[in-house]
Structure 1
């Protein structure tokens, strides 16, 4: 049975901190809905109604493009190793890029990563938990090192060129606001 809450409580925060991955869902005013898995050490609960996460370079940049159109975001975590549980946060989000006011303060919450593309700052309007009875058990082995290996083989200019080529528009052709 789903339950709604106006904010994250201590148990919710502990659950989020114990998970190795989360999913982000966004949609523009038209076009495709995007759901993307995220991992690594890239998310922080900074208050009962606020989560920030650092977005690293990827093959697409849908979240940024969607938030330029409609600033709503859903984050979701699933229990794969413990009692069944799904937790979602619903809210609005703002996008910060390197050089934006507030970037440095929030970036200091995370390990330094040369391919940090954005930080998303979600204001939580509602938290929902549900059973997760059909979510399978899965065992965490390790974080992937693929992103770090890719970054290690690139200059900062190479990364910016990649953003210009692959990350400046959504798959629906909308701008993402990524600085290139």
Structure 2
């Protein structure tokens, strides 16, 4: 299930530091290309500066999509995921900016990655600075599990990725229990920005909201206060309204002035 946080906790920071890869996603305001990039060297090239800020070293590569997108609109998402036995996906929704090599304070930013950062990252072209405004975690059962192949007498075991059976079992259980439509209505109706998602889920959400509104209206209509109470409240409201009208028109004179 997705869970949202306003900042990155120390536990999340420690978990992120243990992962071997992180992913960046960005897009222009116009155009057809959405960029997703895997990044390695996590232990040395990515750092949290606080619960709502981070930065990573951007090495020279064959593309420049992230830099271009950040310069245009500042939108970027960072994703971490686990390939080990404890599944998790963690996203950092950010506003980012680019500090290019040679720019003011670039050296100060690079020094945050260690005294040997300049020697280690010889092909650095920028530091990407991230302002984190939302954190999301989810189960991660859809991410494969890193394992070892069995091997044989001629072929030694080697690392491989295998499917996690949990995601299929969870889906089958939801179907058999009649809970799949409810789950979709809860989580698949609308995007984080309020855009319609799965049509059937969005319709179910609207229908449910309408039912809640109807029930609340019916309950309000069912409660009828005694007639004397209504008359008293009406008198109070009319009295207050008359006083306000007199004050604003200048016709009301305080008692002290008489």
Normalized against structure 2, the TM-score is what? 0.53
Q: 1:135 aligns with which of 143, 156, 159?
A: 143
Q: How far 1:105 moved relative to its partner?
A: 1.3
1:10 aligns with 2:10: yes
1:124 aligns with 2:132: yes
**Quick one: structure 1 residues 101 and 82, their matched pair in 2 at CA, closer, same or farther if it must change by over 3 Å?**
farther
Which has a greater percent of strand? 1
Q: How far 1:63 moved relative to its partner?
A: 0.2
Q: Per chain length, whose mean CA-contact separation is higher, i.e. which structure has more relative contact order (CA < 8 Å, sep 6+)?
A: 1
Q: For structure 1, list consecutive stretches of 5 or more residues without a partner in the other structure.
A: 142-180
Residue in structure 2 matched with residue 30 of structure 1 by the alignment? 30
**2:50 and 2:17 mapped to 1: Cα distance?**
13
**2:85 and 2:64 mapped to 1: Cα distance?**
32
**Matched residue count:** 141
Q: How far 1:45 moved relative to its partner?
A: 0.7
Residue in structure 1 matched with residue 85 of structure 2 by the alignment? 82
Q: 2:71 aligns with which of 63, 68, 71?
A: 68
Which has a greater percent of helix? 2
Give the CA RMSD over aligned residues. Answer: 1.6
Q: For structure 2, list consecutive stretches of 5 or more residues without a partner in the other structure.
A: 148-157, 159-258
**1:52 and 1:100 mapped to 2: Cα distance?**
16
Normalized against structure 1, the TM-score is what? 0.75
1:106 aligns with 2:109: yes
